[in-house]
Structure 1
Amino acid sequence: MEQQGQSESRVETDAAPRAATTDEVLAYLTRHPGFLADHPDLVSVLTPPEHRRGAGVVDMQQFMLQRLQSDLARLKSQQRALISTSRSNLTSQTRIHAAVLAIVGASSFEQLIQTVTTDLAVLLDVDVVTLCVESDTGPLPRPPLPGVLLLPSGEVDRLLGADKDALLEDEVRGDPALFGAGAGLVQSEALLRLTIGSHAPAGILALGSRRPHKFKAGQGTELLCFLAQALEITIAQWLDLEA
């Protein structure tokens, strides 16, 4: 029985993991000098040596301090970017809401068109706003209202693509067909599809800015599309058109 107990004890001892010795750890780190750089999380749990200088002495405390300072600077930069983006999004949301209220608050169709082509530029902080509507009556007639431009049939799909409701572009030259006399100011643009009714011609709400990066590909378009939808519904109601 005693021999059996000794045998079982020996088996349990052999099965237990052996901790690495100090020399083995030193040898491993010597062979892998970039270990701490590859595993920066260890810096927060290591106990640094005293701050000493001399030949052959590595200032681990200074290394850790620099690492923490770098991480802190990165986090502060990310925080500033997040705050800036949040403020920008909030400002954009406020501007869109004000524009929608102005649209639905128009007391006549003529005032609605004037609000869109004049007031929205101020409310949305852009330079030019126009309404572009397709016409299939042959040679394009003179636009019926200031700020309303006529496009050839099929031009909306050609500009936006058949399956897109918005197109944002930066560093562009304004197209007079879309922005009329204000085209020379435009260096970035947002083109928003207007589907006013099943029997109405396709249209575009064109926003142009003199700032080259006011609009650019990759920006969110949800708020702008909401603005376009509010305009679609309001125009359809004034013209008594079926959706």
Structure 2
Amino acid sequence: MAETALSDETLRDTLRDKILADPDVILDDHDVMRALVAANERMLGSNVVDLRGIAMERLESRLDRLEDMHRSVIAAAYENLAGTNQIHRAVLRLLDPVSFEEFLASLGGDMADILRVDCIRLVLETAQSEEDPVLKRLDDVLCIAEPGFIDAYITDGRNLPIRPVSLRQTLPSSDAIYGEAASWVRSEALMRLDLGEGRLPGMLVLGSEDPHQFKPAQGTDLLTFFAGVFERSMRRWLS
């Protein structure tokens, strides 16, 4: 028993010396500090209010909220950087084709993979009843529509302002664009294209099976930039 008591006393002395030599070890350990504060409150009794302890708890709670916010900001920054790199890759891919047919075909190939969407559709309005045979071969990417279709589809027939980019879940009328794929496309990004003076508008559509990939509350800066590059490429091919 004497040896046990001696060893306990030696252990306490050693621990005390270490704490005095480096008190930050205790101060930086939240669990140890909570245990010390709790022990101090028990010694004070139930009729004494420790205002300093209350203040420490509030400061600790505020610190936790700030740390959560800091992590959220960092995560958003990384996500934005990844999105920017993604759009840059897509823009470079737009510059690769040497023919209009190859340009359109790329939309149904690696462009969808780069943008991480399940399908891409290009909607062009035309007043002509006959279709170009070249365009007919690309009907899995290209959608030919009557004048006025694009604005009506974006607004769903309502009197709403037309924005350059609209993000939403798909509508029941989406089969006019996606065809059979309308059964599984659940959200979409609509980019209205200005194809130049004297031409009817166009629309680039990104479709996703994930109903939450495109939502109205999301930012559209990167897609607006991509749409601007795409419509300038289209003007070059149509000139």
TM over 0.5: yes
Using the TM superposition, give the Cα deviation of residue 193 of structure 1 relative to its aligned residue in structure 2, in angstroms: 0.5
What is the match of residue 156 of structure 1? 150
**AA at the equivalent of 1:218:** A
The one-letter code matched in structure 2 to 1:180 is G
* Aligned CA distance change for structure 1 residues 199 and 177 (closer, same or farther; 3 Å): same
Change (3 A) 1:139 1:112: closer
CA distance in 2, matches of 1:169, 1:212: 9
- Tell me the CA shift for residue 158 of structure 1: 1.7
- Contact 1:131–1:203 (Cα < 8 Å) also in 2: yes
Aligned equivalent of 2:164: 165
Say which SS state the counterpart of residue 91 (structure 1) adopts: helix
Superposition pairs of residues 123-202 of structure 1, within 5 angstroms: 123-137=114-128, 144=136, 145-146=138-139, 147-161=141-155, 163-170=162-169, 175-202=174-201
Pick closer, same or farther for the CA change 1:174–1:129 going to 2, 3 Å: farther
* Superposition deviation, residue 141 in structure 1: 9.0
Corresponding residue of 1:220: 219
Q: CA deviation at 1:183?
A: 2.0
Whose helix fraction is larger, Structure 1's or Structure 2's?
2
For residue 95 of structure 1, what is the aligned residue in structure 2?
86
Cα distance in 1, alignment partners of residues 185 and 93 from structure 2: 24
Structure 2: gaps spanning 5 or more residues = 1-39, 156-160
Kept in 2, the 8 Å contact 1:195–1:202? The answer is yes
- Specify the code of the residue in structure 1 equivalent to 2:181: G
What TM-score, normalized by structure 2, do the two folds share?
0.72
**Higher Rg:** 1
Matches within 5 A, 1:47-66: 51=41, 52-66=43-57
Q: How many correspondences in the alignment?
A: 191
**Residue matched to 2:64:** 73
In the alignment, which residue of structure 2 is the partner of 1:117? 108
Contact 1:118/1:129 (CA < 8 Å) preserved in 2? Answer: no
Unaligned runs of at least 5 residues, structure 1:
1-49
The alignment yields a C-alpha RMSD, in angstroms, of 2.4
